[in-house]
Structure 1
Amino acid sequence: MSTTQKQEIAVLGSGSWATALVKILSENEQAAIHWWVRNPETAEHIRTYRHNPGYLSDVEIRPERVVQVSSSIREVLAPARWVVVAIPAAFVKEALSSTTADDWSSKKVVSGVKGVIPEDYLLVTQWISRQFELAEENMAVIAGPCHAEEIALERQSYLTIASLNFAISEAFARLMNCRYVKATPFDDLYGVEYCAIMKNIIAIGCGIAHGLGFGDNFQAVLVANALREMKALIDAVYPLHRELTHTAYLGDLLVTAYSQFSRNRTFGNMIGRGYSVKSAQMEMKMVAEGYYAAKGIYQISRKHGVVCPIMNGVYRILYEEVPAKKVFEKIRAELQ
Structure 2
Amino acid sequence: MSKNPKIAVFGGGSWATAIVKMLCENLEQVGWYMRNQNAVDYIKENEHNPNYLSSAEFNVDQLFLSSDINEMVRYADILIFAIPSAFVKVELDKITEELSSKIVFSAIKGIIPETGLIVGEHFNKMHNVPLENIGVITGPCHAEEVAMERLSYLTIASKDEEIAKVMSKYLSSNYIKTKISDDIIGTEYAAMLKNIYAMAAGMAHGLGYGDNFQAVLMSNSIREMKRFIKKVHKMKRNINNSAYLGDLLVTGYSVFSRNRMFGNMIGKGYTVKSAMMEMSMIAEGYYASKSAYLLNEKNNINTPIIDAVYQILYLNKNPKTVFKNLTNLID
Q: TM-score, normalised on structure 1?
A: 0.96
Distance in 2 (alpha carbons) for counterparts of 1:56 and 1:26: 15
Equivalent residue, structure 2, for 1:214: 209
SS at match of 1:173: helix
Residues 96-124 of structure 1 deviation map (CA, whole Å, 9 limit, x = unaligned): 11113x43242111100000010311001
- Following superposition, the deviation at residue 6 of structure 1 comes to 4.1
Equivalent residue, structure 1, for 2:51: 54
Q: 1:74 aligns with which of 70, 73, 76?
A: 70
Equivalent residue, structure 2, for 1:305: 300
Q: 1:144 aligns with which of 139, 146, 149?
A: 139
Distance in 2 (alpha carbons) for counterparts of 1:143 and 1:47: 28
Equivalent residue, structure 2, for 1:95: 91
Distance in 2 (alpha carbons) for counterparts of 1:82 and 1:259: 31
- Asked whether 1:84 is paired with 2:71, we answer no
Q: 1:127 aligns with which of 116, 122, 127?
A: 122
Q: 2:253 aligns with which of 258, 261, 274?
A: 258
SS at match of 2:136: strand
Q: 2:25 aligns with which of 7, 24, 27?
A: 27
Equivalent residue, structure 1, for 2:235: 240
CA contact (8 A) 1:114 1:289 kept: yes
Distance in 2 (alpha carbons) for counterparts of 1:331 and 1:175: 43
Q: 2:178 aligns with which of 170, 177, 183?
A: 183
CA contact (8 A) 1:317 1:324 kept: yes
- Asked whether 1:159 is paired with 2:159, we answer no
Distance in 2 (alpha carbons) for counterparts of 1:33 and 1:103: 20
Residues 167-195 of structure 1 deviation map (CA, whole Å, 9 limit, x = unaligned): 21111101111110011111111010001
AA paired with 1:335? Answer: I
Equivalent residue, structure 1, for 2:330: 335
SS at match of 1:7: coil
AA paired with 1:294? Answer: S
Equivalent residue, structure 1, for 2:276: 281
SS at match of 1:282: helix
Equivalent residue, structure 2, for 1:172: 167
Distance in 1 (alpha carbons) for counterparts of 2:100 and 2:7: 14
- Following superposition, the deviation at residue 158 of structure 1 comes to 0.2
Equivalent residue, structure 1, for 2:192: 197
- Asked whether 1:38 is paired with 2:35, we answer yes
Residues 228-286 of structure 1 deviation map (CA, whole Å, 9 limit, x = unaligned): 11111111100112111101000000000000000000000000000000100110111
Distance in 1 (alpha carbons) for counterparts of 2:109 and 2:258: 13
Residues 39-80 of structure 1 deviation map (CA, whole Å, 9 limit, x = unaligned): 1111110111111000001111222321x1111001111120
CA contact (8 A) 1:83 1:110 kept: yes
SS at match of 1:104: coil
Mean Cα displacement is larger for which, 160-169 or 312-321? 160-169
CA contact (8 A) 2:100 2:130 kept: no
Distance in 2 (alpha carbons) for counterparts of 1:271 and 1:254: 20
CA contact (8 A) 1:6 1:31 kept: no
SS at match of 2:281: coil
- Asked whether 1:10 is paired with 2:8, we answer yes
Distance in 2 (alpha carbons) for counterparts of 1:255 and 1:31: 32
Question: What is the alpha-carbon root mean square deviation over aligned residues?
Answer: 1.3
Unaligned runs of 5+ in 2: none
Distance in 2 (alpha carbons) for counterparts of 1:65 and 1:174: 18
CA contact (8 A) 1:25 1:31 kept: no
Q: 1:227 aligns with which of 217, 222, 230?
A: 222
- After superposing on structure 2, the runs of 4+ consecutive aligned residues of structure 1 that deviate more than 6 Å are none
CA contact (8 A) 1:201 1:294 kept: yes
Residues 138-187 of structure 1 deviation map (CA, whole Å, 9 limit, x = unaligned): 00001100000000000000000011222211111011111100111111
- Give the percent of matched residue pairs that are identical in Structure 1 and Structure 2: 49
CA contact (8 A) 1:8 1:31 kept: no
Distance in 1 (alpha carbons) for counterparts of 2:123 and 2:29: 23
Q: TM-score, normalised on structure 2?
A: 0.98
Distance in 2 (alpha carbons) for counterparts of 1:249 and 1:297: 16
Unaligned runs of 5+ in 1: none
AA paired with 1:10? Answer: A
